[in-house]
């Protein structure tokens, strides 16, 4: 029995998304063309926009389709500062953001922007007051993720957004990639000006994402060309991927509340099982998504654990898939920012659940994890003692 628990990296294709792909194959027209085939393709794009808006829990706003979550985050950040950079030279984010946010901020810092990187608590949570205290008179942009992709921390974006509304010159961007389709009405809860989503985290194919822009907010394009997507993302749209994203978003939104409650129930059981393994340290933020669990096994290497579990048909990761290159995991900047020891960082694993995950599979995974961890600790002669 194979158990796939790396859904924060990517998910299997939803049947509904697969059906949307098949339906789009004969609708191969360019949505910018004026003839019937172009109009048919354009209609499917507009249907997908409505589906994504619905999944976000709002009725109004612009949906700009992109080539994925990374591009959407870059468009939100650079597009905002190109348009509104005259308001100041200060921007705020956290130390636990995804690289597709951190790297743009570092690039902007090298270009002369003043950046505040807000640190998390040891449990991986970032208090709202810490973010708000970082906001200055010349702050243009605050970018905070909704759900952390390594620890599952649900950051207090609603509280941050509520306070930032009293400072209309500050634009609030939320990376919602790990919340979209999982936290019901995620954007309505966040109250963000800009909200990023990705298709392959919810059962759509890779290579498609979207950026939500609230009504009345204008940003500048990062890509220039034919002016597609309202001039904000030039290039012929990936109509097949977009249709699949719309179908996956609609599917997820209809089941988000029920699925969240169900996953929460057996996630707690899974965490309890991990806690019984000698040497295991579960890193659980005070507010956390049930879809992501982080744990360390100090004295062992995460990469060795990944392959040990894989040999028994259980697939997990050491952390963000975007932080691994050439088959070797980089040290987690998230866990380091939390103040974990080198042994805790090196021995960390991430377990992440998806739309297809069943309770029986999680129970099977818990058994295999316990078995393999005990075997490896015995092999290195620690027995889980540090």
Element (H, E) at 7: none
Can you say whether residue 201 is alpha, beta or left, with left for phi > 0 and alpha for psi between -120 and 50 degrees?
Answer: alpha
Give me the pLDDT at residue 379, please: 85
Per-residue pLDDT of the chain (386 residues; tens, 9 = 90+): 899 999 999 999 999 999 999 999 999 999 999 999 999 999 999 999 999 999 999 989 999 999 999 999 999 999 999 999 999 999 999 999 999 999 999 999 999 999 999 999 999 999 999 999 999 999 999 999 999 999 999 999 999 999 999 999 999 999 999 999 999 999 988 889 999 999 999 999 999 999 999 999 999 999 999 999 999 999 999 999 999 999 999 999 999 999 999 999 999 999 999 999 999 999 999 999 999 999 999 999 999 999 999 999 999 999 655 555 555 557 899 999 999 999 999 999 999 999 899 989 999 999 999 999 999 998 877 655 54
Rounded to 5 degrees, what are φ and ψ at 317? -135, 165
Per-residue pLDDT at 332: 92
The alpha helices in the chain, defined as continuous H runs, are: 15-24, 36-56, 69-84, 99-110, 128-134, 157-164, 186-190, 239-275, 302-310, 333-337, 342-346, 359-380
Active site residue 280: no
Strands 3-4 and 314-315: parallel
pLDDT at 188: 85
CA distances from 218 to 113, 135, 194, 365 (A): 21, 21, 11, 47
How far apart, in Å, are the Cα atoms of 296 and each of 43, 284, 323, 350?
A: 48, 11, 17, 9
**d(C-alpha 19, C-alpha 75), whole Å:** 30
Q: How far apart are CA 7 and CA 217, in angstroms?
A: 33
pLDDT score for 320: 56
H/E element, 350: strand 348-352
Distance CA 93, CA 134 (A): 9
| Burial class of residue 328, CB neighbours in 10 A (0-12, 13-18, 19+) | exposed
**Angle at CA of residue 187, ends 183 and 193, nearest 5°:** 155
The residues that bridge with 352 in the sheet, in sequence order, are: 6, 292
pLDDT of residue 134: 97
* Contact (CB, 8 A) for 373 and 317: no
Both structure tokens of 360 = 């029986």
DSSP for 93-104, please give it.
EETT--HHHHHH
pLDDT of amino acid 324 = 54
Instruction: Report the pLDDT value the prediction gives residue 233, as an integer from 0 to 100.
Output: 95
Q: Under DSSP, is residue 88 helix (H, G, I), strand (E, B) or coil?
A: coil
The pLDDT, as a whole number, for residue 346 is 95
Continuous segment of H or E residues that includes residue 147: none
Q: Indicate the helix (H) or strand (E) that contains 138.
A: none
Pick the catalytic residue from 186, 267, 280, 322. Answer: 322
Q: Are 299 and 343 in contact (CB under 8 A)?
A: yes
CA distance 212 to 227: 18
Domains for the chain: give ranges and CATH numbers. 3-9+256-380 (3.90.1150.10), 15-251 (3.40.640.10)
């Amino acid at each position: 029995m194979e158990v796939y628990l790396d859904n924060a990296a990517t998910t299997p294709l939803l049947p509904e998304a697969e059906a949307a792909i098949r339906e789009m194959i004969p609708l191969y027209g360019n949505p910018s063309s004026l003839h019937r085939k172009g109009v048919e393709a354009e209609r499917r794009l507009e249907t997908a926009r409505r589906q994504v808006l619905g999944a976000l829990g709002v009725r109004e706003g612009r949906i700009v389709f992109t080539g994925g979550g990374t591009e959407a985050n870059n468009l939100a950040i650079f597009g905002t500062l190109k348009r509104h950079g005259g308001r100041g030279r200060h921007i705020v984010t956290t130390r636990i953001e995804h690289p597709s946010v951190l790297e743009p901020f570092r690039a902007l810092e090298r270009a002369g922007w003043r950046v505040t990187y807000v640190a998390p608590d040891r449990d991986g949570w970032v208090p709202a007051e810490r973010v708000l205290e970082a906001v200055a008179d010349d702050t243009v942009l605050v970018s905070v993720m909704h759900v952390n992709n390594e620890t599952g921390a649900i950051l207090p974006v609603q509280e941050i957004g509520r306070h930032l509304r009293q400072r209309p010159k500050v634009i609030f961007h939320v990376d919602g990639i790990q919340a979209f389709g999982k936290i019901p009405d995620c954007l309505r809860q966040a109250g963000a000006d800009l909200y990023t989503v990705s298709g392959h985290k919810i059962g759509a194919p890779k290579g498609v994402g979207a950026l939500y822009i609230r009504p009345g907010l204008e940003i500048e394009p990062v890509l220039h060309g034919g002016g597609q997507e309202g001039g904000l993302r030039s290039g012929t749209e990936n109509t097949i991927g977009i249709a699949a994203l719309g179908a996956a978003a609609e599917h997820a939104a209809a089941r988000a509340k029920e699925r969240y409650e169900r996953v929460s129930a057996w996630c707690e059981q899974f965490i309890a099982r991990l806690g019984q393994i000698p040497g295991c340290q579960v890193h659980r933020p005070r507010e956390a998504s049930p879809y992501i669990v982080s744990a360390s096994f100090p004295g062992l290497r995460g990469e060795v654990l990944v392959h040990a579990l894989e040999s028994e048909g259980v697939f997990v990761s050491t952390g963000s898939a975007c932080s691994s290159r050439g088959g070797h995991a980089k040290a987690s900047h998230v866990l380091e920012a939390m103040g974990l020891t080198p042994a805790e960082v090196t021995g960390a694993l991430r377990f992440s659940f998806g739309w297809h995950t069943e309770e029986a599979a999680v129970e099977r995974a818990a058994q295999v994890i316990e078995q393999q961890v005990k075997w490896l600790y015995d092999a290195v002669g620690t027995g889980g003692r540090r």
